[in-house]
């Protein structure tokens, strides 16, 4: 045991020497082997540590490089995106201008088409008016032609017309009458005979041949129905009915009065002159 503190180190050393002096050579070899292995393990770990440090440094360097690459790539991508947006804007503006030009062109085409349509409508209306006027002129010409044809054509009465005239005059059955015609005119004789048939065969009037004994002076036109001014009212009504019936069937007839100085008679005299 050391009594003084300054002699502590010397005492410890003496104690260790005493312990070593009690250790066997085999134990020393074992301890030396453990130290060696431990040293090799430490060196191995140091080697791996250095390697990993190298790998970590390389990885860090790679991260720096990739970070720089990513930054540059992002910058390039941003520039390209901006350029793409500008290109899209330019294309959009160009498309809009093209559409505006197309719309303007369509507007001009529409205006031209509308004008052409309006012109076509005006032409069509004028054409319709021309057709209507032409039809009107044709109808007028046809009427004039028919009028001229009727003026030139002989007067005729169909069987139906003869019956129609006679039926209108049946109320005056027994009414006396005479018929006188131009003997040298076939047309005058023909229409006189048709009138006679209507009066005699259909209306059942009483015919007197006094008319066949008379002669008409030249220049008589149309059918003249003569009555005495003092004739009975029934005779006057019968004469009026005959005139209306003949005119209704297209045979022009007019009333005539005999000389009042002539003896009164209820005889109706039908004088059939020329047509014109």
For residue 209, report the phi and psi dihedrals to the nearest 5 degrees.
-80, 10
Q: Average pLDDT of 174-194?
A: 93
The mean-pLDDT minimum among 68-77, 78-87, 158-167 falls in 68-77
**Lowest-confidence region among 108-112, 220-224, 250-254:** 108-112
Please, are residues 235 and 175 in contact by the beta-carbon 8 Å criterion? Answer: yes
pLDDT score recorded for residue 14? 45
- CA separation for the pair 75, 81 (Å, rounded): 10
- The reported pLDDT for the residue numbered 39 is 82
User: Distance between CA 40 and CA 32 in Å, rounded?
Assistant: 12
Domain assignments of the chain as residue spans, ordered by start: 31-153, 159-272
| pLDDT tops 70 at residue 139 | yes
Q: What is the mean pLDDT of the chain?
A: 83
Strand, coil or helix: 178: strand
What average pLDDT does the segment 194-200 reach?
A: 97
pTM: 0.49
Q: How confident is the model at residue 179 (pLDDT cuts 50, 70, 90)?
A: very high
How much of the chain, in percent, has pLDDT values that exceed 70?
A: 86
What's the rounded mean pLDDT across residues 32-36?
Answer: 84
Look at residue 13 in the predicted model and tell me its pLDDT.
Answer: 44
- Per-residue pLDDT of 161-171, as tens digits, reads 999 999 999 99
Residue 244 has pLDDT above 80, yes or no: yes
Query: Model confidence at 158, in pLDDT bands (50, 70, 90)?
Result: very high
Residue 10: Cβ within 10 Å count: 11
pLDDT of residue 262 exceeding 70, the answer is yes
């Amino acid at each position: 045991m050391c009594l003084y503190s300054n002699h502590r180190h010397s005492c410890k050393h003496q104690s260790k020497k005493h312990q070593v002096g009690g250790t066997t050579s085999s134990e020393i070899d074992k301890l030396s082997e453990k130290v060696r292995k431990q040293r090799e393990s430490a060196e191995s770990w140091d080697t791996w540590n250095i390697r990993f440090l190298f790998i970590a440094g390389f990885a860090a360097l790679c991260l720096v490089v990739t970070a720089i690459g990513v930054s540059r790539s992002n910058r390039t991508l941003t520039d390209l995106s901006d350029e793409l947006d500008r290109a899209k804007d330019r294309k959009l503006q160009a498309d809009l201008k093209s559409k505006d030009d197309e719309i303007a062109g369509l507007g001009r085409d529409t205006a031209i088409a509308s004008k052409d349509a309006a012109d076509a409508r005006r032409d069509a209306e004028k054409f319709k008016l021309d057709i209507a006027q032409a039809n009107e002129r044709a109808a007028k010409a046809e009427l004039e032609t028919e009028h001229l044809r009727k003026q030139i054509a002989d007067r005729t009465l169909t069987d139906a017309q003869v019956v129609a005239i006679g039926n209108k005059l049946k109320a005056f059955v027994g009414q006396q009458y005479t018929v006188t015609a131009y003997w040298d005119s076939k047309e005058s004789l023909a229409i006189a005979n048709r009138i006679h048939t209507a009066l005699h065969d259909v209306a059942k009037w009483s015919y007197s041949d006094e008319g066949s004994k008379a002669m008409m002076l030249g220049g008589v036109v149309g059918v003249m129905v003569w009555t005495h001014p003092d004739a009975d009212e029934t005779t006057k009504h019968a004469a009026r009915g005959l005139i209306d019936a003949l005119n209704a069937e297209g045979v022009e007839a007019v009333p005539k009065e005999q000389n009042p100085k002539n003896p009164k008679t209820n005889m109706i005299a039908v004088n059939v002159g020329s047509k014109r």
